[in-house]
Structure 1
Amino acid sequence: MTCHMMSVDTGSLRGDLHEIARIVGERRHCRGAQAMGEGAAWLHRVIGRAVRRGEVEPGNPALDFLPELVVAAACGAVAVEGDQVDAAYLVRYMDAFVLPVLLRH
């Protein structure tokens, strides 16, 4: 999963998160702890680019929780309802929860 995510750079935070949602949704499974750790490191790089572009305030307190927010979306439905999530669900999650928290000023 992370090898495909490493190449994602659409030029905007929204575009990057939507592309991540597409990649994760196509895989349709929750990965192990090592893959999630690699994904978390990559998400920090995505956020670093967004901060440098001025999309996200560097002091935004939600930055510390971004990996957990994304992993919750990818794995939460599996844990709670036993259902895998698809890309459309993950895009809606990014738009409804992740982006509003990160883009607030």
Structure 2
Amino acid sequence: MAARSASPAPAAAQRRSRLTPEREREIYGAVLDLVREDGYEALTMDAVASRTKSSKATLYRQWENKPNLVACALRADQRVTLADIDTGTLAGDLHEMRRRVGCDVDRDTELLSGLGHAMQRDTELERTVRAVLIEPELQSLDGLLRRAVVRGEVAEGNPALEFVPHLMLGAMVAQKIIDGREADPAYLERYVDAVVLPALLTG
């Protein structure tokens, strides 16, 4: 399995914040509320400053630009992470992963869908969200799969390793399109057992 090199997080995400955690949460909440209300394209730093009674100078000093502010707000709001999953077996890890994803799959669907469309048109937003939000989770998934290889559960050269993120995301997208409903925990459990684990354990 090829190692995935994470994109460096934007400088503002790495800089030590001068704001209190409570103030950061307030700003992040306002940012996501504004995106829900008017969409990403209509969001402005002026609107965030007005909603949070902040100065634009403070916002730019902390986050540099709108894409980074939105990406950091999404990261702070993220309830599901793969970073600490390590049950000791591949099956256990994948089922813990699908449990976490399944519990959060219908949360803020409209917000995330709208941002997904915006990312297709805004390369800076796409790059920043990938660096701040997507790449850390892909790194965690790579680590999960690498441990399965080290334990001898999965062959080093199994070609399915490359496609595990696509398999998991594809399950959720396909269920919505084909069956007209979100991928619930029972569906994801059957999918992991019928598709993902066989692909990894027999390759």
In the other structure, the counterpart of 1:84 is 182
For normalisation by structure 1, the TM-score amounts to 0.84
Percent of pairs with identical residues:
42
Per-residue CA deviations over 1:11-66 (Å, capped at 9, x if unaligned) read 00000000011111111236557455543332211110100110000001111111
Q: Note the aligned Cα RMSD (angstroms).
A: 2.3
- Deviation larger for 72-81 or 50-59: 72-81
Matched length? 105
Structure 2 spans left out of the alignment, 5+ residues? 1-77, 117-128
Q: Is residue 2:171 matched to residue 1:73?
A: yes
Per-residue CA deviations over 1:76-105 (Å, capped at 9, x if unaligned) read 222334311111211110100000010015
Q: Distance in 1 between matches of 2:194 and 2:98?
A: 13
Higher relative contact order (Cα pairs below 8 Å, separated by 6+ residues): 1
Q: Is the CA contact (8 Å cut-off) linking 1:36 and 1:71 kept in structure 2?
A: no
For normalisation by structure 2, the TM-score amounts to 0.46
Higher-Rg member (1/2): 2
C-alpha distance 3-21 of structure 1, shift in aligned 2 (>3 A): closer
In the other structure, the counterpart of 1:55 is 153
Q: Distance in 2 between matches of 1:65 and 1:2?
A: 24
Letter in 2 for 1:85: A
In the other structure, the counterpart of 1:9 is 86
C-alpha distance 38-77 of structure 1, shift in aligned 2 (>3 A): farther
